Chain A
């Protein structure tokens, strides 16, 4: 499970373009951002095509939610690690996310502080749960 240290390939899916850009900038120093997409369906297609190491998925997205996209990836590209980036703090969300095999759950207000740590943890084979969750 442990990957050799090096630049990982990351896919970013968020329906808010400024957020996508911000995330790309945030991660670009450590990783290769292979795709920026705006909905769950595009994320699944890009993931299947590009085979990234990790997919950062927003949950609330049009066309297909991040959760639904994760369900698909679990079936057709289960090697891709999934980290959710979201505003949802409700238990139902968190539970469903981890039930679907998510490796990380990061809350958006604290992205800058938590996301680099979360990604490192996940790529190292661990799971990350936002410190803001009770």
Chain B
């Protein structure tokens, strides 16, 4: 202050005026600052700036406050702070607690539901601070409030979903969901894991996951390979025997997946596994049943095959016995014709000749008539012999295979222009009748095929004796055919030739190509009559009648 004794009143007045001016100026500066602050606060729309007096009544209300709480400034002035709180919070005395905390700790920060003018709620996070005057005395409170509803909801959602996921994981009973870290140590344990493995969380958390593997797999390094494979391939899936806490084993299907954060950094692994022992047992049972069924089927197929083979054998025997019976019957009828009918006709011819001598001679006489009758009878006898031979060539039984074959070839030659040659070498006299008959009939059938299918051209028939077997060949130089193309197409001639060869223990080969002629080759073992009889006994239902 100034020394007033030495100055005049004017001076004092002047000094006061000056002081006043300075003060006025200072105040205007302060006012201007205040104005600027107010403008700043109002421009900030995302925050509500509110000031309260010592009673908690609103004395300052920014534009942001208007926007967030929805009260115009005029209405807001004088409102009590608790009016912006939910009734529940007011009932708990939260409004008073905020002021108290601000007074005592210079700061009261919290987040809570607030009420707008229309009663709707928003999640506001706010800080309340005490206002002190120049002397440091409390003169009110200021509060900065922000509407955090959107963030709150997003967080809640996130928390919710995390919680749901946690609950979901924990409550999955059938699957063990086991997170392991980069080292392979167990860092999580759900209900399913506990149920399947038998470990309580505190027993297993922090243990290496190899304790789930059986010792053989551990020795092979499977636990490490599993993680490596998961990293390399994005997942590792397998099925193996795993080990319970008590050491017993169970069959498990499982998948290991790498866990990566948003920056794709590997953070650990998720193992999901399932006790498939029952399923495996069921599958094995099914496999066993299938196998059993397969074996049964195989047995059935085999026995059906055997039955078919038997049927085939029986058919073959039947065919054999039919062929034999046919041959026997033909032989019998042929002999009847030849020995009886033919003989009677011969006697008739002789008697006619004798009768003729006693008849009157002369042109148009009865002797001529008798001669005609004789000729007719002779022709009849020859016809009967021809029929007999056709039915069964007795020549085969009487003169043997070679003579019969020669006669057959001569007859065949008579029907053709091109030469038919017959070459026989070292054929024994005592060929078993069945073998001789088979070869003769095959030759007959073969020549019949030649005249039916091969057309003109030389024909060679060979009968040879080589190393205990007889070889019959019938070769033509005719049109030939594609064996595969005619298989099963009325090839009864070929089949019956094969059957005849088979019946006497032999085989038949047919070689033919279109344009290159056909060769039938038959090979039958040369056995004695006794051997044949032995074979006959073995084969069923083949009867052989001898006269």
Q: Which residues of A are at the interface with B, using a C-beta cutoff of 8 A?
A: 15, 59-60, 62-63, 65-68, 71, 87-90, 92-93, 96, 107-110, 132
Contact = CB atoms under 8 A, between A and B. Distances in A.
B428 to A, nearest CB: 11
Contact of B429 (A68, A93, A107): A68
B395 A62 contact: no
Contact of B547 (A59, A62, A110, A132): A62
B262 interface: no
A96 B403 contact: yes
Interface stretch (B91-99, B118-126, B341-349): B341-349
B429 A90 contact: no
Nearest to B354: A113
Contact of B398 (A59, A63, A109): A59
Interface string B387-400: 00100001101111
B341 to A, nearest CB: 10
B385 A89 contact: yes
Interface residues of B, number: 24
A93 B395 contact: yes
A58 B140 CA distance: 162
B547 A15 contact: yes
B343 A108 contact: yes
A109 B407 CA distance: 25
The 8 lowest CB-CB distance pairs between A and B, nearest first, are A109-B346, A65-B398, A62-B547, A109-B347, A96-B399, A92-B407, A62-B546, A59-B398
The listed residue with most A CB atoms (<10 A of its CB), out of B338, B347, B398, B407, is B398
B339 interface: yes
Given A15-B547, A87-B338, 11 more contacts: A60-B335, A60-B338, A60-B394, A60-B398, A65-B398, A87-B346, A90-B385, A96-B399, A96-B403, A109-B343, A132-B346
B346 A63 contact: no
Interface of B: 335, 338-339, 342-343, 346-347, 349-350, 385, 389, 394-395, 397-400, 403, 406-407, 429-430, 546-547
Contacts of A96: 399, 403
B400 A68 contact: yes
B395 A87 contact: no
A38 to B, nearest CB: 10
Contacts of B347: 109
Contact of B339 (A68, A87, A107): A87
Contact of B399 (A65, A87, A107, A132): A65
Contact of A67 (B343, B346, B399): B399
A119 to B, nearest CB: 20
A66 B394 CA distance: 12
A129 to B, nearest CB: 16
Contacts of B385: 89-90
B463 to A, nearest CB: 16
A43 to B, nearest CB: 14
A71 B402 CA distance: 14
A60 B397 contact: yes
Nearest to B346: A109
Nearest to A99: B403
Nearest to B410: A92
Given A60-B335, A63-B546, A108-B343, A92 B395 contact: yes
A66 B398 contact: yes
A5 B468 CA distance: 50
A117 to B, nearest CB: 15
Nearest to A107: B346
A34 B400 CA distance: 28
Nearest to B342: A87
A67 B404 CA distance: 13
Contacts of A15: 547
Given A60-B394, A92-B407, A109 B547 contact: no
Contacts of B547: 15, 62
Contacts of A71: 429
Nearest to A40: B398
A124 B394 CA distance: 32
Most buried by A among B349, B389, B394: B394
18 contacts: A15-B547, A59-B398, A60-B335, A60-B394, A62-B546, A63-B546, A65-B397, A65-B398, A67-B399, A67-B400, A68-B400, A87-B338, A89-B385, A92-B399, A92-B406, A93-B398, A96-B399, A110-B346
Nearest to B382: A89
Contacts of B429: 68, 71
A62 to B, nearest CB: 5
A39 to B, nearest CB: 9
Nearest to B335: A60
A28 to B, nearest CB: 23
B261 to A, nearest CB: 108
Contacts of B389: 90
A59 B335 CA distance: 12
A96 B400 CA distance: 10
A61 to B, nearest CB: 8
A63 B430 CA distance: 11
A60 B339 contact: yes
Contacts of B350: 109-110, 132
A15 B398 CA distance: 13
